[in-house]
Amino acid sequence: MSDPKPPSIIVFDVNETLLDITTLEPLFNRVFGDRQVLREWFSALVLYSQTMTLSGLYTPFGELGVGALRMTADIHKVDIGDDDIAELKKRMSTMPAHPDAIPALTRLIDAGFRLVTLTNSASGASPTPLEKAGLNHFFERTFSIEETGKFKPAPETYRLVAKALSVETSDLCLVACHLWDTIGAQAAGCRGAFVTRPNNAILTAPGVPLPDLVAAELTDLVDQIIGCR
């Protein structure tokens, strides 16, 4: 973060960055006989959410998740029943926080940062996944991309947060474990802080912006953010 004015508002991605999606693995192990199919499904979910946005279309993230599960099942030639769909929805709504989430968020609050979330998931009735995970009280606002009808990394999603908070995108720093998310945030004028959760890594290629900050643990990333003030 070389800018002389460091960001005052930290915007957190939710799924996988704060909440642990590996708790979905038992479903994929039972249905496919391989827990790693979770990654195939999640990659398809992200791919087709972005495809919908590029095509000028919109379907809620949860419904795309169900469709991606059925598609993955078709590819692997296994049957998916209503009970499997119900289990997916239940597990997605009850993902626990990563162990480093509460310590990291506490440090940011103690340092005087404002915290919000921005997720591809649609907003829902209380208790929300963040509430169930014990994280909701750290955030002054929780934003869903459904207000724009576009999925991240569309620039409108990050600008939504800046407009709602009456700040510039340069006042925001997005924290995410998905490089496509930090790339989108940086392209929209935000800073990008990348936590390298398992199955996520840096992409080095011409024209691809590297994150402003990188760490393997959220607590270490937060220490870097605080140190830039």
pLDDT: is 189 or 6 the higher one? 189
Is the pLDDT reported for residue 2 higher than 50?
no
Q: How confident is the model at residue 72 (pLDDT cuts 50, 70, 90)?
A: very high
Across residues 193-217, what is the average pLDDT? 96
> Which CATH code of 1.10.150.240, 3.20.10.10, 3.40.50.1220, 1.10.10.10 fits the domain covering 21-93?
1.10.150.240
Give helix then strand counts, H and E, for the chain: 9, 6
Across residues 14-20, what is the average pLDDT? 97
Is the pLDDT reported for residue 3 higher than 80?
no
Q: What angle do CA 31, 35, 37 make, to 5 degrees?
A: 80
| Residue linked to tokens 């947060």 | 161
What predicted TM-score, i.e. pTM, was given to this entire model?
Answer: 0.95
Is the pLDDT reported for residue 75 higher than 60?
yes
16: tokens are 């996988």
The tens digit of pLDDT for each residue in 90-129 reads 999 999 999 999 999 999 999 999 999 999 999 887 899 9
Domain parsing of the chain, residue ranges:
9-20+95-227, 21-93
Q: Residues with Cβ < 8 Å from 209, sequence gap 6 or more?
A: 182, 183, 186, 187, 192
174: tokens are 């997005």
What's 62's DSSP letter?
H
Note the pLDDT of residue 42: 97
* Assigned superfamily of 9-20+95-227: HAD superfamily/HAD-like (3.40.50.1000)
Is the pLDDT reported for residue 52 higher than 50?
yes
Is the pLDDT reported for residue 7 higher than 50?
yes
Across residues 152-181, what is the average pLDDT? 98
Give the N- to C-terminal CA distance of the chain in Å, as an integer. 9
Is the pLDDT reported for residue 48 higher than 60?
yes
